[in-house]
Amino acid sequence: MTEYPLTCGIEIHQQLDTKKLFCSCDSHLTEEGHGSCYRRLRPTTSEMGEIDRAALAQFQRNLGYRYQSAPGVSCLVELDEEPPHETNSEALATTLTFSEMMKARVVDEIHFMRKIVVDGSNTSGFQRTALISMNGSVNVNGRDISILSICLEEDACRKVETTDAEITYRLDRLGIPLIEVATGPDMHDPEEVMEVALRIGTLLRATKRVKRGIGTIREDLNISVPGGARIEIKGVQELRLLPLYVQNEMNRQNMLIRIKGILNDRGVKDAAFEPVDVTDIFKDCESKVIKGALNDKGKVIAVRLPGFKGVMNGDSGKLRLGAEMAQRARTKGVKGIFHSDELPNYGIEQSYVDKLRDFLGMNGEFDAFVICAAKEKKAVDALEMAVARANEAMVGVPEETRDPLPDGTSKYSRPLPGAARMYPETDVPPTPIPAVRLERIRANLPEMPEQVEA
């Protein structure tokens, strides 16, 4: 194994092959939707009276959510119109069995918590999750990898369609029991991450109570490099791509650390957010994006970025802060942004770039700009996000949750959630776990895969 300047831990989410966690509905997926309802979700405060930053960021996207239901696989529990029923005993037993297989310490009493989730994937605005055990370990290639926690939780809705203003979900997946297995930050090699995930997945299948197939097991990757920050890539489904996601994230963080050094050497200060209407400059521009926005009664808005020239897209494409800024801007519903490092291009000729530089008074050696063409409020909001992301570059790598892309890269999703997203579940009573129950489980543990092969 090669040691990289990298620290990685994983969370594995495995669906259980039982009925749903808090009702008696079946846990298979369907392509039929027989009815729908519409909701808007708002964040609530945690036990400590705080609002989680990730929940707040999602709420500020101002999206609505539509939910498709189907008989047999969803009921009033999934619609959040009825309290949860008794916890599925088979799902709990499977989680306890796996905890003993990992030699983890099972808690004396199980308490479900509410984890705030306002991306629409839960009709209630929260996910029910319970800590089952802690401090286990799994041996992979002769090395013990720590298992920090094993939880039992409910799966989220399945996304069907997305528009600028609304996301449509299907309720068939909501409430399917999940085992969440969280390792320690013990991995330092992209290939080892895949090997650990493979081993844990194999042991989960040894219980013979888990679902099989694409989408039934998902991995979250927590990755950091020296001088970087913890980044979560959430919902990776292809095991073979895990090393590529880890390697690409390692490269991305090192690129951002390099940009931080360049900006600090230049003495760059936070760019002021001073949006300027520059529509008149571009009224005859042949860019399809700009023409489309102006035909839709939109405007072209610009913001000056002193000191940022060459880091938004420089060194033959190795510096890519502009892509990071564009991902933030898109959370406000725009198609994208243009920045001075990539112009002239996309139908925007050099003459328009020169006019804009003169208009903005760009006299500094490293002065740059960013523009957005859309409805005025949307463009201003998008540029505010882009400039905020540019300013974050001066402190290095911001903590965030990212979505995996099919090519092994990732894109910005939301800020990394904190402890402010949890509060107690009052509709599900605690479940004591007596010692005699654990003794029975230990006496009937399934065979390990290597024992079966022997």
Mapped onto helix, strand or coil, the DSSP state of residue 9 is: strand
The per-residue pLDDT for range 41-50, each reduced to its tens digit, is 888 777 777 8
Nearest alpha-carbon partner for 84 in 177, 165, 194: 177
Residue 38 to residues 74, 83, 115, 189, 235, Cα–Cα distance (Å): 16, 19, 22, 45, 25
Rounded to an integer, what distance in angstroms lies between the CA atom of residue 231 and that of residue 256?
Answer: 13
What is the sign, positive or negative, of the torsion defined by CA atoms of 232, 233, 234, 240?
A: negative
Mapped onto helix, strand or coil, the DSSP state of residue 205 is: helix
Predicted confidence band of residue 233 (pLDDT cuts 50, 70, 90):
very high
What fold does the segment set 266-396 form as a domain? Gyrase A; domain 2 (3.30.1360)
Least confident of 115-124, 244-253, 407-416, 432-441: 115-124
* pLDDT value for 2: 64
Q: Identify the residue whose tokens are 């931080």.
A: 260
Contact 176, 15 (CB under 8 A): yes
- Measured at the CA of 167, the angle between CA 166 and CA 169, to 5 degrees, comes to 145
The per-residue pLDDT for range 41-85, each reduced to its tens digit, is 888 777 777 888 888 888 888 899 999 998 899 999 999 999 999
Q: 38-76 in b/e burial notation, b at 16+ Cβ within 10 A?
A: eeebebeebeeeebbbbbbbbbebebebbbbbbeebbbe
Q: Where are the domains of the chain?
A: 7-230+416-449, 266-396
Gyration radius (Cα) of the chain, Å: 25
The mean per-residue pLDDT over the stretch 274-291 comes to 95
DSSP states of 136-174 as a string?
A: EEEEETTEEEEEEEEEEEEPPPEEEEE-SSEEEEETTST
- 164 vs 68 pLDDT, higher one: 68
Mean pLDDT of the chain: 93
Q: Residue 95 CB: number of other CB atoms within 10 A?
A: 27
Contact 386, 332 (CB under 8 A): no
* pLDDT value for 3: 63
The per-residue pLDDT for range 428-449, each reduced to its tens digit, is 999 999 999 999 999 999 988 7
Nearest alpha-carbon partner for 110 in 438, 436, 429, 441: 429
* pLDDT value for 452: 67
The mean per-residue pLDDT over the stretch 181-208 comes to 96
The mean per-residue pLDDT over the stretch 390-402 comes to 96
The mean per-residue pLDDT over the stretch 349-353 comes to 95
Helices 89-101 and 190-206, packing angle to 10 deg:
130
pLDDT at 130 over 90: yes
pLDDT at 450 over 80: no
Report the percentage of the chain scoring pLDDT > 70.
98
The per-residue pLDDT for range 284-337, each reduced to its tens digit, is 999 999 999 999 999 999 999 999 999 999 888 889 999 999 999 999 989 889
In the chain, the amino acid numbered 407 is: D
* pLDDT value for 274: 96
In the chain, the amino acid numbered 207 is: T
* pLDDT value for 45: 78
